[in-house]
Structures are given as C-alpha cells and as structure tokens.
Structure 1
Amino acid sequence: MNDFKHLLEPRSIAVVGVSDEAGRPGSQAVRALISNGYKGQIYPVNPKYTEFDGLKCYGAVSDIDAQIDLVVIGVPAKGVIPVLKACAEKSVPYVVVLSGGFRESGPEGVEREREMLAIARAAGIRIIGPNCLGFANIHSQVFAAFGSITREPKLKKGGVSLVTQSGGFGYSLALACADADIGFRHVIATGNETDVDTVQLIEALLGDNETEIILAYIEGTKDGRALLDVGKRALAVGKPILLWKGGVTEEGARAAASHTASMTGSYDFYRALFKQTGIVEIREIHETVDFLKAFAAKKYPANGAMAVMGVSGGSAIVFADAGEPEGLHLANLAEQTERLLTEVVPNIGAVHNPIDLTAGYFSASNRDKLRTAIEVTLADPGVDALCLNLATTGSAGSTAAAEVIANVAKDSAKPVCVFSSAPRDQIADASRLLAAAAVPLFPSPSRAAKALAVLTRYGAARREAKRSEYGESSAAPSSKDDLRGWAGKLSEAQSKDILSRAGIPVTRDVLLSDADDSLPEKLSWPVVVKIVSPDIAHKTEIGGVKVGVRDPKELESAIAEVRANAQFHAPEAQIEGVMVSQMVKDGFELIAGVVNDEVFGPVVVVGAGGIYAELMRDSSCRLAPFDENVGRQMLDELRCRPILDGARGKPALDVDAASKALAALSRFAWEHRDAVSEIDINPLFVLPQGVLAADALIVPMPFPGH
C-alpha cells in the first residue's frame, strides 16, 4: 500500500469548508475526526472563523505552517480550483474532493473537472473524487468523509475493506454488514474517479496487511485489463474480492461485421473476468453479508460434496435443491462413517446423508454424541463441507450445539456452517460462539448452500491459478502476420490462411481467381462453393454460397450462380474469386471469434452455431489469452454441450481439439491486439476427430490513411 500510505494513513489532515452549519460536508468531517479520536493533526480551514470546535481555524491552506498529508475539500464546486492550486503550492500529496458540480452536472462541470485534473497532474497530487462521500480508516479513526459513515452506528474494526463508486449505496452495504457484526478496515467512496479509481485502490489494499477481504461496488471501469490483473493478483495472495457490478442491463450496441460481436454485451465481459480471476460477484445485500461470513474462516471445499446434519429433513431438502444448480451435491458417506454414526444417532434417525439427528437432539446432554457425529462426518474423505441445520432449536439447545460446533470447527480444515431460523435474540449466545470460531450462521438453508458454493468455486479458482498460467498451453504458437496495413476486412481466403498458421485447422480449399480458371480435377464430392470478397461479410445472405455441389456440371453452374449473385447484390464489391471447399460432415457447428473491446481488449467468444445461433443465443466468453483448460470451461458452459458428447447414437466429438483451437485463437488475438478488431469463425465444425474452420473473417483495426 506504499503508493497510498499517507492517503489512507494520514498524519495530518486539513479540512477546507468548515462552518457552523452542522450539515456542511467539511463540518461533518472535522467533527467525525474529533469524536472518533483521530490521533493526527487536524486543521480546519475557513477565512470566516478563527476557531472551530476548539481547534484553531485557518484562513487558507497556505496559512498552515506544517506539512499536510491530506486535504479534504468541501466547498462549492467553483471554489475547488483555487483550493487545489493552493494545495499544489503547498506540495500536498493527497486531496479528497467531496464537492459535487463536476462532469455529472454538465459542460461547465466537465471543463472544471478537466482543469482540476490538469493542476493535480502537474503538481503530483492524487485525488479521490470529486462528487464523493470520502473515506474512513476505521482502525486509525480517519474520517475524511461526510454522510452516514460519520454518524451512528459506528463501524467496528475488522478485516474487510470496501471500495465503492457510489458512496450512498456503498455505505448501505457497510451498514448491512455492521448489523451482522462484520468489521471494517477501510471504507472508501471514489465518486467520479477523475484520478484515483477503484482498481488502483483495490491494488493498494492487496498490500495492506490488515485488509483480509475486499468488497467493491462498481458501475464500470475504464481499464478492464487492469481489473483482470488485480483480480489475478488477489487470487494469488489469497485475498478474496467480492464485487457488485451495477448497470448490468445496459445494452452495448455494436456496429460489427461479425456474428461473434452480436453474441455478447459488456456485462458478459465482466462475468468472464470474474471467472478468470476468482472475483465473487454479488447481486444482493444479503449475499454480501453471507459471503463475507463464509470467507472469514479461509477454508475452501476441495469439491462440491456436501454433508447435511440436523433436526429438520425439510431444511436438508431445501439445502440440496439450492445447492444443485450451484454445482453442489450430497456426498455419499463411507460405510465406516455410517457405522460410527449409528453409535451416536437415535435408532429412529438416519445415518445416510442427509443425517437426521431427530428432534430434541441438540441439548447439553448430547454434547459428546454431537461431537462424535460431527467429527466422523468431517473425517469422511468423500465429504468436502458440512452444514448443520439447527432449524427452530431454541436458546439452550442452540447454545449447547454451538459450543460443540465451534470447538470441532476450529480443528477442521473443512468448512462448517450452520442454519438457524430461531429469532435472533433467542440464539444470541450461540451466534457469538459461532462467530468467534468463524463458523457462519445463516437464516436459511438455501443461503447456506449458496455460500458454500461460492467457497467451492473460489477454492477451485485458486487451485487452477496455481496449476496453470498462460504460456503453458500446448496450443501451437500463433503466427506473427502484420495486419496493420490492411484496409477494411480480409477475405475468407486470407483470413483462413492466417488462422491456419496460428494453429486453427481449416478446410481444404481451392481458390479460382476468375471465370476462366480451369476447374480442379481431384475433388472429394460433395463440395461447397463460395464467393470470395473482403467486402462481403455475410455471403449466405446474398446467395454467395452453394452447399452440396455433387459433380463437375453442378460445380460449373454453382460458380456462375454465386458470381452473378455477388455482382447483382454487391456490384461495388472487390471479388477475389470463387472458393471451392471440402464439405464437412459428421460434426457440430460452433461459432467462435474475437471482439476487441475498448475496455477489456480481445475477448474470445464461442457459441452454438448453425440453426442454433439465433434460436438459442448460447455463448460463453473469456478474456484472451488463456490455455485449453479455460477453453474447455467455455465449452462446458454452453447449453449445447451435451451434443458434443454424442447424441442419438452419434459418436462423441473432439472437445479437446475444440478447446485447443479456442486457446490458439486467444493467443493469436492477444498477440495481434493492436491490429485486429474482430474475428469470426463461422462455422467451426467439431468432428469426431479434430476441428475445422469452414469459414472465417478477420477485420483489422482501422489504419491511418485508409
């Protein structure tokens, strides 16, 4: 956290804009610093006052005869620029601009924000805001903020750091967590992010020893690659990031030549990034609380095999129902486990999973039996985690059970969680015991299942990150074609030639450059005939493709027909010739391609092709580059995936080859990210052995002068 050491741990703070009006942002900040016991120097600034709340008040920042680490600005927008200039002259390193009235307010505000940033950059000042609620360091009692974070209830100290683009909603998350007794290290609202942004702060928090987990709310980022890198770093150091992405329904319209680009939107790219980095997406306030509690123990299931134990059969069913769509399943207990359970479970109970302990089991008299039941279940090698359903068990029984659960869980490497629907005041003692042992307590079995599923996926992401890094793929190295000089799109022939050298198998093709070219003598019938032109992206729509051509006579006719159709429908198009291609049979059609997004860079997309493309809208994407293991994950996410395993007596198709082709495409897209705008492989046939790209389109980046 060295880059922001004296921003988040300032030794001295000047607050510009204090006033007798209690609601003024500057006034709230100073009073919060005083009331919370901030140990550094506080310098209120307002030329109208000589004293403010017992502190000397200064007329300007320049009047302060001391080094200032942080200046908090809470004056109207028009007064911010003069204050910032004074900060520059004073060599202040960090400024928080609480004031609104910048780019969110219109053209005048846009210009004001531009000027503010120019002054800051010239002076080496880093800015949080403007138009933000500021930040608080709960451990050091720093409150460079105003609003609800400065008022009761006070946040307790803890290991969670929150970074939020929306101060109001972010503080709502913080208060919901505080109500669940979750403590905080930092709470930072970034506002307009003119200078310092959420991603930079997350990166700084990765180096903060007292931050154990990071919670973030973002509406967008200007640099998706920076978020990707930070997410990977967080995964490597074991600091989970829980992220709420606002604005997920925004439609990202694309003026694209390829089918690939129309298959995704910007939110898909965020979700791909989350999967590649282990970032946990949250969509509800209660999920924030649940997942933070679940991560507290830092224990992750090896797989998705869950054991459920308790006094409510219905709760176990609800747990299983919620867990299955999330990738969990009820573990099959070993015979040895069930035999040991019969010694401590009543005869009318059940020792298979879910384990029915029967009503009234949770009691002081059953402590030893419960301990044995939990220990032998957790010792079963087929069990990855355990959920105990206390259900409606009252105060005494819940406390007795909590004592046992907490003691056993401390010594177990496997996650343990508890469900209870009893009123909070009845199980307060049990809650404290469980919280002290980092055993999460959930108000419903379905929420317990979803939290365990999140832990399972995060653990898998950590193992995958350790196992494989980009560069270990067995996919062929891509070609280093210079594509920057091309104007417009490449033709199919050019595109397939380039992709073939990049390690993506393509069909056998013969290009006939003009009508007088002699027909190829050795052909494997039937064949496909296609017009070849860089100006015709979608050949089928203009009648530029003939499929199933069976003999030389049909071939001659088909060539003439596609030429005539191209001339009629696209008279201005540059025609390179006609391509005669092998006709692929016995495979399944996918669409694969690349969108070079301005925020995320090259993103590889794969989806169901042929008649399924528009019907199913079935696609998956990842940010390039990646290896074939990630390519397989993409294929596994498709709804059409079972078809690749063989359907209606047909042979299984070569998923390994398809995965390697996607990895090769990702490598090519990354290495040519400055030259390639889009790539479309449609279709990519997955065969019983291998894959073949039957058609392809590469769209280079616009090149100066073209």
Structure 2
Amino acid sequence: MNNYKNLLEPRSIAVVGVSEDAGRPGSQAVRALMSNGYTGTIYPVNPKYETFEGLKCYGSVADIEGDVDLVVIGVPAQGVLAVLESSAQKKVPFAVVLSGGFRESGPEGVLREEKMLAIARAAGMRIIGPNCLGFANIHSRVYAAFGSITREPKLEKGSVSLVTQSGGFGYSIALACAEAGIGFRHVIATGNESDVNTVQLIEALLDDDETHTIVAYIEGTNDGRALLEIGRKATARGKPILLWKGGVTEQGALAAASHTASMTGVYDFYRALFKQTGIVEIREIHEAVDFLKALESKKYPDNGGVAVMGVSGGSAIVFADAGEPQGLTLCELGNDTQQKLLAVVPNIGAVHNPIDLTAGYFSAANAQKLEAAVGATLEDPAVGSLCINLATTGVSGSLAAAQVLARIAASASKPILVFSSAPSVQIAEALRVFADAGIPVLPSPSRAAKAIAMLMRFKRTQSRILQMQEDEGLKVERASVPLSTAVGSRSSLSEVESKEMLRSIGIPVTTDLIVKGFDAALFDKVKAPLVVKIVSADIAHKTEIGGVKVGIRTAQELESAIEQVLANAQRHVPAAYIEGVLVSEMVTGGFELIAGVVKDPSFGPVVVVGAGGIYAEVLKDSACRIAPFGLPTAMEMLDELQCSVIMRGVRGALPLDVDAVARALVALSQFAWEQRGDIAEIDINPMFVLPHGVIAADALIVRG
C-alpha cells in the first residue's frame, strides 16, 4: 500500500481537461471531488480558463506551484502525451488516464500507448488506464473518476475494495452490493492496464488495513503466477479475494505435439488457481452480494455438516439439493442434541436434521425456546454451520427470530445464515437487526447453501496453505543442471530420452530395448507380449504414421513389426532422423491415464491428468493444477476425475494404486517447475495405474 499511497490517498490532484461542458471527463472529475468533500488540494488545468468552479485554473501541470501527488487526464487522446511530459517535468508520481483512443482503437492507438509508457517510465511515473473510468476512495472522498462512479447513488463507506478491468460492469457489481447494504473502501477501474494492473492493485490492497475483502473482475492477466502467490498470501492472512473471470470460453493456443495440451483451456488454469489459492470464484452478480455478506462476520465452518432449522420442509430439501454437490451434508445430530430439542420443539415437529419447528414457531412468545433450540444445535460437534429457514415468516415473527439470533451470534463461533423470502419492505426492521449482528439474509435456500459451501472451502484452503506450504513445494528453486545440458539444442527428446528423464525423477517406466533391426536372440530378452515403436525425436505422433505395433507374441511377429515401423517411418517422414526401434514389454491390466505438463505464458507450467485410452475422447475427463505442488493437491486432482471411482475399485475389482499416481504427479510438477525455462510440454500417454505402482509406457518431452 505504501507504494500506492500517493495514488489512493493523494494530498493534491491536478485535473487536466476541465471545461464548461459538464459532460467532459475532466469537468466531471473536479465536480465529483468538490461535491463529495475531498479535503486535499485540487488544481484544474486548462489554458483557456483563469478559474474553474471557483478554483484557480492552470495552463499546464508544470505551471502548478505546489506538489502534485496525482494527475487525472481527461483530454482527447492526441493531447495526452503532452500532458504526461508536463507531468513528468513536475515529477508527478501517478497519473490516471481517463482518455480513450489507445491500443483499443487500432495501430495508431497502439503506437500512442507505447509512447505514453516510454514517457512515464523515463520519469518514474505510474499510470492507471488509459481508457478507464478512474477510481474512488470512498473513505477519503477521492473521486479521480468520471461517469457512473461519480453519479448517484453514492457508495457508503465499508471494508470492501473493488478492482475491475471493466469500469461499467465492475460498477454494476458495486451498485448491486450497495443495494444490499455493503459498503466500500476503494473502487478502481483499470481500463487498458498499460502499466499498473489488477494484480498489482490487489497486492497493494492486501496491505490496506481498512480493506477486509477484495472483489475483482478480470478478463485476463499476463502474470498468473503473481496472482497465484498473491491469492495464497491473501487467504493465509484471512483477507478473501472474490474474483470474476470474464471470457471463460476463450481457449488457449493448443500445441500440436502433445495430447496433454488438448485436454485444457485457459479457463481450466484459472479454475486450478482458485482451488490452489482460496480465491473465491464468482459467476453471477448475486454471488458477489451473497458471498460478501457471508464473509462479513469472519466466521467459518470447521466441517461440512449443516443443521437446517425452520418452518418450511421444502426449503430444507432445496438447501440439501444445492448443498450436496458443494460438499455439504445435513449432518446427523447427536442424541443429546435431539433430547434438548425435544424439550423446546412442538410434538408435531421434528428434531432430526432438518429440524422442523412447525408453522408459527417464530414469535416473541417462543423466544426462549428458539434460543434454547439454536444454542443446542450449535453446540453439536457435527454441526459446522446453521441455516435458519424463515421462508415466508411475517413481520413480527421475523423480528422475534432476528432478536434471538442476534444475541446468539454475538458469541457464536459458527456461521449462521438465514433464508427469508418475505418482502424486504415488510421485514425492514428485522433485516436491520440481522445486518447489525452480521447475520446474512439470503433470498433462497440454495443461495444460502452455496454461501456456506464457499466459507467451508475458504477455511479448508486457508488451513492447508498455513500448515502445508513446505509440503506444497512453494519454495522450489531452479534445478542446478538444466535440461539443455543433457540433450543439447534439440527441440524435443526421443521416447527413450523422455522416459529416462522420467525415471531419473522417480516415475517408473517400462523395460525397453532399442535396436536397429531384428536379431534372432532379441525375442528372448524381453517378455511377451511386446510393443514395437519407432524411435525418433522428429516424429511426435508415432501411431498416426504406423510407427507402433502392439500385442506381439512370437519372434516372427516381432521381426515383421520391426520391418513395418521402419518402412512406415521412411515413407511418411523421410527426413526424420531414426534412432532405431524400441521393443518394450507390453503393460497389461490396470487403468490408462494421460498425464503431462503444458506451459502457459501467464501461469507457467501446469500439470494435467486425465482418463486415457478409450475414455480420453469419450469422457474428456481431466484435472489440472499449477506447478509445483505436493501430495494433498495431487490427491485433490485425482478425486476430481470421473474415473477415480474406477481406480478405487468397483464391482469387486481390486483398487489401484492411486497414491502412486499422486506421487508421480508431484514429481512431475517439481520437475516441470525446476526446468520451467527449458520445457514446453511433457506428454505421458499412457501412464498405467496398477494395483501396486504406476508405469509410464510412452513419453514425450518438448523443449521450449
């Protein structure tokens, strides 16, 4: 935050581009600063005016007598460079460029943006924008902005900061949150992000004590690795980040050499990021509202058991339907809990979970009984959180429930959420009591379930980050012997070299012999059935050119297979350098996986694992994580796969060695991270999971 203090807490602001035209960005910025009570010094800039809104107007930024912490630029794009040069002369540390007409407008704009950056960097100036709405510090009444950020309704002070690459849509999120009573600290629109980007601002806000939660909307980032580190840091500190990733259907460029690369897209890497960092993904505006309200109390469930209590059986069913896929369960209450409930719940009700309090229970007359019921339920160790279904309960009943729950919430360590579908204008007083007590009230039981599940996931990820950072391999250094030392400058390794590399990092591979041709004694050296494959670093997909033969059981079949793969390689890829023919023992039994690594420009090496063989195309079943990682993350990946139920044994089949797969993925992730400068892709296809151990039957490592 200290590096951005002059930006977010400026003592003086120059606004360039003021005009009598009220619609001009500069004019809007000055009027917003004045009308909102900004207490610093405002310097309007326009050589055509002597004064503006009663303030002295300057011909240029360089003409200003006092220091300037921030310059807000609202002139047409063609005039921005001259303003920046004047600001550089004045040694202004930060500029907010509201103007459009830069790289978003075509080649001329791209060149203009490059010149803008050159001026700023030479002067040590940082830039927000261009092509942005600017920002507002609600607490300090700094409105270095124009457009929707400066208009009614005004945002209230609070502990949420919002950073958004889309000013208009981001402010839509802010307004929806404000309508729900959520206050803000900062709202920052970053526009083109030619210099300062969303990730850097999130990092700055982590050091802002008055920001408790961060919401961000991004369409992409050039530094996913930084976002990974910042996300972990935020979660460890207990400062949640809610992130909306726009453009999730965009697919990354798929490398032709690897099966692994075709199993993922860019959005998959963001989803991995969310799981590895505790960053909370939001996909709807109401999710931002719900999750912020749920996070406000800073109470988290220590398990996925939820008690549901209320007057609507249907609401409990809807809650359970929404909660189960999210990892929540309507937990079984202990006998002691049920006995306590029997004393305060009507005979026609139910004391198992869900707890049916029956119609009319929420009332002032039942206040003591409700307090006893809620208290007993929260004391049950199986209960991690509590959802109260008020449903359509009216004015007096809602208020009575709110007063009881507010008293309990003051000392309760477990989160309490409320579902109410009563019109807010009718139960306004109850809603105020709930809000003051930090109890979220959500308009559907399914939304309550998703909010509780979010709290549970955040807490679990936080615990893992705090307790297992060393095991997760977050401090792995680059290997002392780079891959290039072993294989020279070739663009890819042969299968033999690739498998030997895997063997050296602890991943078992098949027993192989490489030969130039058939030898009568060869068949006795390897146990049938056999696989024969052409060996050439120049042939990535051997099967497609007839370079693989399987199921060989006799010496005659072996001789024929060797001749065929050599001939096929010569016919289809005549320029390829042929090292020989690989004769391998054929792996039988077990289950086929595809595992490997792709290198993303933003996230670096990403490990992917998925169902192989006939399931690869049918199920499209895969999971990925950003390297490096440890065993807990590897096991989490495998649990996500649909084929995990097969590997763990179904219909009497022996379970396969899933732990060995996890260890192989960890080794792969460490290797990919250590050699991140030299490896573009790793493809292990297939990797056989056996009752005891795993074995890589084929592999390809691509340099890059």
Does TM-score exceed 0.5, indicating one fold? yes
Pairwise CA distance, 1:571: 2.0
Q: How does 1:603-642 map to 2 (within 5 A)?
A: 603-642=606-645
Question: Which letter does structure 1 place at the counterpart of 2:370?
Answer: L
- Matched-pair contact (CA < 8 Å) for 1:479–1:501: no
- Matched-pair contact (CA < 8 Å) for 1:126–1:196: yes
In structure 1, distance between residues paired with 2:382 and 2:470:
32
Aligned equivalent of 1:649: 652
* Matching of residue 242 in structure 1 with residue 245 in structure 2: no
Deviates more, 1:45-54 or 1:442-451: 45-54
Aligned equivalent of 2:676: 673
Q: What is the total number of aligned residue pairs between the two structures?
A: 700
In structure 2, distance between residues paired with 1:465 and 1:652:
30
Question: Which letter does structure 2 place at the counterpart of 1:600?
Answer: F
In structure 1, distance between residues paired with 2:527 and 2:664:
25
Pairwise CA distance, 1:680: 0.1
Pairwise CA distance, 1:439: 0.8
Aligned equivalent of 1:335: 335
Instruction: Please point out which of 556, 560, 566 is paired with 1:557.
Output: 560
In structure 2, distance between residues paired with 1:515 and 1:506:
23
Q: How does 1:394-413 map to 2 (within 5 A)?
A: 394-413=394-413
Q: Which runs of 5+ in 2 are unaligned?
A: none
Give a deviation string over 1:41-97, Cα, whole Å, max 9, x none: 111111111111121111211121000000100000011101100000000001000
Pairwise CA distance, 1:464: 0.9
Question: Which letter does structure 1 place at the counterpart of 2:53?
Answer: D
* Matching of residue 482 in structure 1 with residue 502 in structure 2: no
Q: Secondary structure at the match of 1:483?
A: helix
Aligned equivalent of 2:496: 493
Aligned equivalent of 1:117: 117
In structure 1, distance between residues paired with 2:683 and 2:521:
30
In structure 1, distance between residues paired with 2:489 and 2:517:
23
Seen in structure 2, the aligned counterparts of structure 1 residues 293 and 106 have a Cα distance that, compared at 3 Å, is: same
In structure 1, distance between residues paired with 2:542 and 2:520:
21
* Matching of residue 262 in structure 1 with residue 286 in structure 2: no
Pairwise CA distance, 1:256: 2.3
In structure 2, distance between residues paired with 1:579 and 1:195:
52
Aligned equivalent of 1:38: 38
Aligned equivalent of 2:253: 253
- Matched-pair contact (CA < 8 Å) for 2:514–2:580: yes
* Matching of residue 693 in structure 1 with residue 696 in structure 2: yes
Pairwise CA distance, 1:522: 3.1
* Matching of residue 177 in structure 1 with residue 180 in structure 2: no
Q: Secondary structure at the match of 2:159?
A: strand
Seen in structure 2, the aligned counterparts of structure 1 residues 307 and 164 have a Cα distance that, compared at 3 Å, is: same
Give a deviation string over 1:185-233, Cα, whole Å, max 9, x none: 0000000001000000000000000000000000010111111111111
Q: Which runs of 5+ in 1 are unaligned?
A: 702-706
Pairwise CA distance, 1:467: 2.0
Aligned equivalent of 1:107: 107
Pairwise CA distance, 1:583: 1.5
Aligned equivalent of 2:392: 392
* Matching of residue 589 in structure 1 with residue 601 in structure 2: no
Q: Secondary structure at the match of 1:314?
A: helix
Question: Which letter does structure 1 place at the counterpart of 2:303?
Answer: N
Aligned equivalent of 1:202: 202
Aligned equivalent of 1:417: 417
Aligned equivalent of 2:661: 658
In structure 1, distance between residues paired with 2:561 and 2:470:
45
Pairwise CA distance, 1:255: 3.3
Q: How does 1:205-220 map to 2 (within 5 A)?
A: 205-220=205-220
Q: How does 1:89-100 map to 2 (within 5 A)?
A: 89-100=89-100
Give a deviation string over 1:585-611, Cα, whole Å, max 9, x none: 221000000001111110100010001
- The alignment's C-alpha RMSD in Å is 1.5
- Matched-pair contact (CA < 8 Å) for 1:607–1:613: yes
In structure 1, distance between residues paired with 2:480 and 2:357:
63
Pairwise CA distance, 1:520: 5.3
Question: Which letter does structure 2 place at the counterpart of 1:302?
Answer: D
Deviates more, 1:548-557 or 1:15-24: 548-557
In structure 1, distance between residues paired with 2:382 and 2:429:
32
Question: Which letter does structure 2 place at the counterpart of 1:156?
Answer: E
- Matched-pair contact (CA < 8 Å) for 2:471–2:631: no
Q: How does 1:447-458 map to 2 (within 5 A)?
A: 447-458=447-458
Aligned equivalent of 2:577: 574
Question: Which letter does structure 1 place at the counterpart of 2:499?
Answer: K
Question: Which letter does structure 1 place at the counterpart of 2:203?
Answer: E
Q: Under a length normalisation based on structure 1, what TM-score does the superposition of the two structures give? A: 0.97
Question: Which letter does structure 2 place at the counterpart of 1:206?
Answer: L
Q: Report percent identity of matched pairs.
A: 69
In structure 2, distance between residues paired with 1:262 and 1:574:
26
- Matched-pair contact (CA < 8 Å) for 2:472–2:631: no
Deviates more, 1:564-573 or 1:631-640: 564-573
Aligned equivalent of 2:285: 285
- Matched-pair contact (CA < 8 Å) for 2:523–2:558: no
In structure 2, distance between residues paired with 1:553 and 1:145:
80
In structure 1, distance between residues paired with 2:353 and 2:276:
33
In structure 2, distance between residues paired with 1:567 and 1:517:
23
- Matched-pair contact (CA < 8 Å) for 1:470–1:626: no
Question: Which letter does structure 2 place at the counterpart of 1:630?
Answer: T
Q: Secondary structure at the match of 1:120?
A: helix
In structure 2, distance between residues paired with 1:77 and 1:98:
9
Aligned equivalent of 1:22: 22
Pairwise CA distance, 1:383: 0.5
- Matched-pair contact (CA < 8 Å) for 2:517–2:562: no
Aligned equivalent of 1:355: 355
Deviates more, 1:238-247 or 1:574-583: 574-583
Pairwise CA distance, 1:552: 2.4
Give a deviation string over 1:324-364, Cα, whole Å, max 9, x none: 11111111100110000000000000000000000000000
Pairwise CA distance, 1:523: 2.3
Seen in structure 2, the aligned counterparts of structure 1 residues 110 and 472 have a Cα distance that, compared at 3 Å, is: closer
Pairwise CA distance, 1:564: 2.0
In structure 2, distance between residues paired with 1:67 and 1:252:
46
Pairwise CA distance, 1:514: 4.0
Question: Which letter does structure 2 place at the counterpart of 1:614?
Answer: E
Aligned equivalent of 2:542: 539
In structure 2, distance between residues paired with 1:470 and 1:598:
25
In structure 2, distance between residues paired with 1:49 and 1:268:
54
Q: Secondary structure at the match of 2:252?
A: coil
Q: How does 1:128-143 map to 2 (within 5 A)?
A: 128-143=128-143
Aligned equivalent of 1:298: 298
Deviates more, 1:134-143 or 1:227-236: 227-236
Pairwise CA distance, 1:105: 0.6
Aligned equivalent of 1:52: 52
Give a deviation string over 1:625-666, Cα, whole Å, max 9, x none: 001211111111111110011123221011110001000000
In structure 2, distance between residues paired with 1:481 and 1:509:
25
- Matched-pair contact (CA < 8 Å) for 2:515–2:582: yes
Question: Which letter does structure 1 place at the counterpart of 2:618?
Answer: L
Q: Under a length normalisation based on structure 2, what TM-score does the superposition of the two structures give? A: 0.98
- Matched-pair contact (CA < 8 Å) for 1:483–1:676: no
In structure 2, distance between residues paired with 1:687 and 1:317:
41
In structure 1, distance between residues paired with 2:521 and 2:3:
69
Q: Secondary structure at the match of 1:320?
A: helix
Pairwise CA distance, 1:513: 3.3
In structure 2, distance between residues paired with 1:41 and 1:348:
69
Aligned equivalent of 1:704: none
Pairwise CA distance, 1:471: 4.9
Question: Which letter does structure 1 place at the counterpart of 2:483?
Answer: D
Aligned equivalent of 1:505: 508
- Matched-pair contact (CA < 8 Å) for 2:533–2:542: yes
In structure 2, distance between residues paired with 1:284 and 1:6:
34
Pairwise CA distance, 1:560: 1.8
Question: Which letter does structure 1 place at the counterpart of 2:290?
Answer: D
In structure 2, distance between residues paired with 1:681 and 1:211:
45
